């Protein structure tokens, strides 16, 4: 099978668990606005109506994230024990109920980008890994459409149908994953050299004895040998600095996922329907679908741009664009009333512009970057920590938002003023991207490790170019893994000198 075809299959089936993530996240926003749902889970008021109070609204919305946080933390243990591929299948089996579904969504959100990064060719790794976020957006859109189709049903099936359909998505993921090869890096870490070469052969579309397979195998083996030489990694090692700058890399992943949530994206997708309704929008369900269409379309742009434009410039541009859009929404919300239709259209327009910037940058690239910046011995643990951080902030924001925006007693009643908070967080995200996100476009995972060890974030683009120009690949990494010899010494003492042609030749 040719390389592009297998990359499409890998991206599609593995990423489809992102669809489950998006669907689980998306259906709750519309369900909470359904009369039958409010009557079932709300509280009877003195006037005979039912109300879904801030406390219950918070709990219903955010309870998924309790399970996802736990599932993500355990993701590295499951993935290291039974493999990336069957780890994903294992977690999909939990897709029942909102808390248990969280275990499945959290575990797969850790393992899927990890599996994709370890199996994807470096030239299209950004495209393949970002496909996970693309399917998240598709799941959100499909959830919004299903909710719109069932919202007028007269009984509890109005919300039971959107919830029950998720079993279909889980079955499709399990079937697809059974057709894909296991990660060759994981197989090699289990000393299964035969299956590791077979997996590489399938992924590269080359015979097992080809130069491409042999070179890739030697590179992975050399890197793994170096990691074994320094001892087995523990959770405590995640927070040690060392020659590999591990603590910086772990912090980068965790802060990146936290800031992705603090941009306020899930305010739109968790509370968008009720927010638009309270803002005077005549058909909030259709507006929610519109924002999801923008999300899906611009995620495609992000997938393509990841390997063409690069990680670092896209993250800087995305943070700036989100900040401007959010602050405009906040200003419009303060300046105009709900009765001002022109003002409300501007509000919706800039919400869509914000989502466009998020989907094409921070939405897709957060998964790409966190899947490639960790050393192999800590890659599973690093992904668990960063993904669990995302879900922790997802829970915190989902739980706190009703108390921030509602007018009810005990709530802050911020309404659109909450966008000042999201806009400020986007400004922080810009500063973070400048100082902590390196450029890793077109580098193998082993070369990403070399970049972190021998360069800085601010000089990463230049160092990356030198790696690619001089083809610092398995040969250089072999010397590095042995931790001796003139090339390793040059790299440690003077990275620029080590990358001069006469040194590499």
The predicted pLDDT at position 293 comes to 92
What CA–CA distances, in Å, run from 343 to 278, 328, 334, 339, 415? 14, 11, 10, 9, 15
SS (H, E, C) 369-389: HHHHCCCHHHHHHHHHHHHHH
Residue for token pair 């466009």: 356
Is the distance from CB of 263 to CB of 419 less than 8 angstroms? no
Q: How far apart are CA 7 and CA 329, in angstroms?
A: 39
Is the distance from CB of 177 to CB of 85 less than 8 angstroms? yes
Backbone phi, psi, residue 389, to 5°: -65, -40
Residue 278 has pLDDT above 80, yes or no: no
Is the distance from CB of 29 to CB of 291 less than 8 angstroms? no
Tokens in use for 449?
């490790």
Average pLDDT, the chain: 81
Name the more confident of 246 and 30: 246
Whole-angstrom distance between the N-terminal and C-terminal Cα of the chain?
35
Name the more confident of 6 and 160: 160
> What is the three-class DSSP state of 458?
coil
Task: Give the pLDDT mean for 254-261.
Answer: 96
Residue 307 has pLDDT above 70, yes or no: yes
Residue for token pair 């108390």: 403
Tokens in use for 473?
């690949």
Is the distance from CB of 188 to CB of 224 less than 8 angstroms? yes
The predicted pLDDT at position 19 comes to 83
- pLDDT class of 497 with cuts at 50, 70, 90: very low
Span 138-169, pLDDT tens digits: 888 888 889 889 888 888 888 888 877 877 77
- pLDDT class of 95 with cuts at 50, 70, 90: low
Q: Which of 445, 461, 467, 465 is nearest to 120 (CA)?
A: 445
Tokens in use for 73?
């933390």
Q: How far apart are CA 288 and CA 276, in angstroms?
A: 8
What CA–CA distances, in Å, run from 6 to 196, 219, 388, 446? 17, 21, 30, 22
Tokens in use for 107?
């575990």
**44 strand-pairing partners:** 50
Weakest-pLDDT range from 63-67, 191-195, 205-209 = 63-67
For every residue of 4-54, DSSP letters joined together read HHHHHHHHHHHHHHHHHHHHHHHHHHHHTTSHHHHHHHSEE-TTS-EE--H
Q: How far apart are CA 348 and CA 342, in angstroms?
A: 10
The H or E element that residue 222 is part of is: helix 211-229
Name the more confident of 103 and 415: 415
Calculate ∠ Cα 205-375-368, nearest 5°.
Answer: 60
Q: Which residues of 96-114 are buried (b: 16+ CB within 10 A; e: fewer)?
A: eebeebbbbbbbbbbbbbb
- Give the rounded percent of residues in the chain with a pLDDT score beyond 90: 26
Weakest-pLDDT range from 76-90, 149-163, 238-252, 339-353 = 76-90
Most trustworthy range by pLDDT among 21-30, 72-81, 434-443: 434-443
Tokens in use for 228?
């074994």
> What is the three-class DSSP state of 459?
coil
> What is the three-class DSSP state of 115?
helix
Name the more confident of 258 and 160: 258
Span 171-184, pLDDT tens digits: 777 777 777 788 88
Most trustworthy range by pLDDT among 159-163, 286-290, 357-361, 414-418: 357-361
Task: Give the pLDDT mean for 21-45.
Answer: 80
The H or E element that residue 251 is part of is: helix 246-262
Q: Compute CA 255 distance to the chain's CA centroid, rounded to the nearest angstrom.
A: 13
Is the distance from CB of 307 to CB of 126 less than 8 angstroms? yes
Torsion angle defined by CA atoms of residues 228, 370, 429 and 72, in that order, rounded to the nearest 10 degrees:
-100
Q: How far apart are CA 120 and CA 365, in angstroms?
A: 15
Backbone phi, psi, residue 327, to 5°: -70, -35
Q: Which pairs from 495-500 meet CB under 8 Å and 24+ separation?
A: 495/454, 495/455, 495/463, 496/466, 498/454, 499/463, 499/466, 499/467, 499/470, 499/472
Is the distance from CB of 277 to CB of 97 less than 8 angstroms? no
Backbone phi, psi, residue 411, to 5°: -110, 160
Kindly report the pTM of this predicted structure.
0.77
Name the more confident of 243 and 302: 302
Q: How far apart are CA 258 and CA 240, in angstroms?
A: 21
Torsion angle defined by CA atoms of residues 172, 174, 180 and 185, in that order, rounded to the nearest 10 degrees:
140
Name the more confident of 357 and 215: 357
Q: How far apart are CA 328 and CA 423, in angstroms?
A: 9
């Amino acid at each position: 099978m040719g390389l592009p075809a297998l990359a499409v299959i890998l991206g599609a089936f593995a990423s489809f668990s992102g669809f489950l993530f998006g669907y689980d996240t998306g259906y709750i926003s519309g369900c909470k606005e359904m009369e039958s749902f409010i009557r079932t889970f709300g509280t009877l008021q003195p006037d005979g109506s039912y109300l879904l109070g801030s406390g219950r609204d918070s709990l219903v919305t955010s309870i998924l994230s309790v399970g996802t946080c736990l599932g993500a933390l355990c993701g590295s243990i499951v993935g290291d024990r039974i493999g990336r591929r069957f780890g994903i299948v294992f977690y999909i089996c939990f897709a029942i109920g909102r808390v248990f579904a969280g275990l499945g969504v959290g575990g797969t959100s850790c393992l899927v980008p990890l599996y994709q990064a370890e199996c994807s060719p470096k030239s299209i790794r950004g495209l393949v890994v970002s496909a996970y976020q693309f399917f998240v957006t598709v799941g959100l859109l499909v959830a919004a459409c299903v909710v719109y189709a069932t919202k007028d049903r007269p009984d509890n099936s109005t919300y039971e149908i959107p919830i029950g359909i998720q079993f279909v998505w889980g079955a499709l993921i399990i079937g697809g994953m059974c057709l894909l090869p296991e990660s060759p890096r994981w197989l090699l870490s289990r000393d299964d050299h035969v299956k590791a070469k077979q997996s590489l052969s399938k992924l590269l579309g080359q015979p097992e004895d080809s130069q491409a397979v042999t070179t890739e195998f030697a590179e992975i083996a050399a890197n793994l040998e170096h990691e074994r030489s320094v001892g087995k990694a523990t959770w405590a090692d995640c927070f040690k600095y060392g020659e590999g700058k591990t603590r910086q890399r772990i912090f980068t992943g965790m802060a990146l996922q936290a800031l992705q949530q603090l941009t306020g994206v899930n305010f739109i997708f968790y509370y968008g329907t009720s927010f638009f309704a309270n803002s005077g929008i005549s058909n909030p369900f259709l507006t929610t679908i519109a924002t999801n269409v923008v999300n899906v379309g611009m995620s495609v742009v992000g997938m393509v741009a990841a390997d063409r434009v690069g990680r670092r410039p896209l993250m800087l541009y995305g943070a700036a664009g989100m900040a401007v859009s959010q602050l405009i929404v906040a200003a419009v919300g303060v300046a105009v009333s709900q009765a001002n239709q022109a003002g409300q259209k501007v509000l919706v327009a800039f919400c869509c512009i914000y989502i466009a910037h998020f989907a094409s940058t921070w939405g897709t690239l957060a998964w790409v970057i966190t899947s490639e910046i960790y050393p192999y011995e800590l890659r599973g643990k690093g992904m668990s920590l960063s993904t669990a951080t995302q879900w922790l902030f997802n829970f915190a924001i989902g739980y706190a938002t009703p108390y921030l925006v509602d007018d009810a007693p005990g709530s802050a009643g911020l309404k659109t003023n909450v966008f000042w908070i999201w806009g400020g967080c986007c400004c922080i995200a810009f500063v973070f991207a400048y100082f902590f996100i390196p450029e890793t476009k077109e580098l193998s995972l082993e070369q990403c490790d070399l970049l972190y060890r021998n360069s800085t974030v601010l000089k990463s683009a230049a160092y990356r170019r030198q790696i690619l120009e001089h083809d610092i690949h398995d040969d250089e990494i072999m010397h590095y893994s042995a931790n001796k010899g003139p090339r390793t010494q040059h790299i440690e003492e003077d990275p620029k000198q080590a990358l001069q042609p006469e040194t590499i030749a």
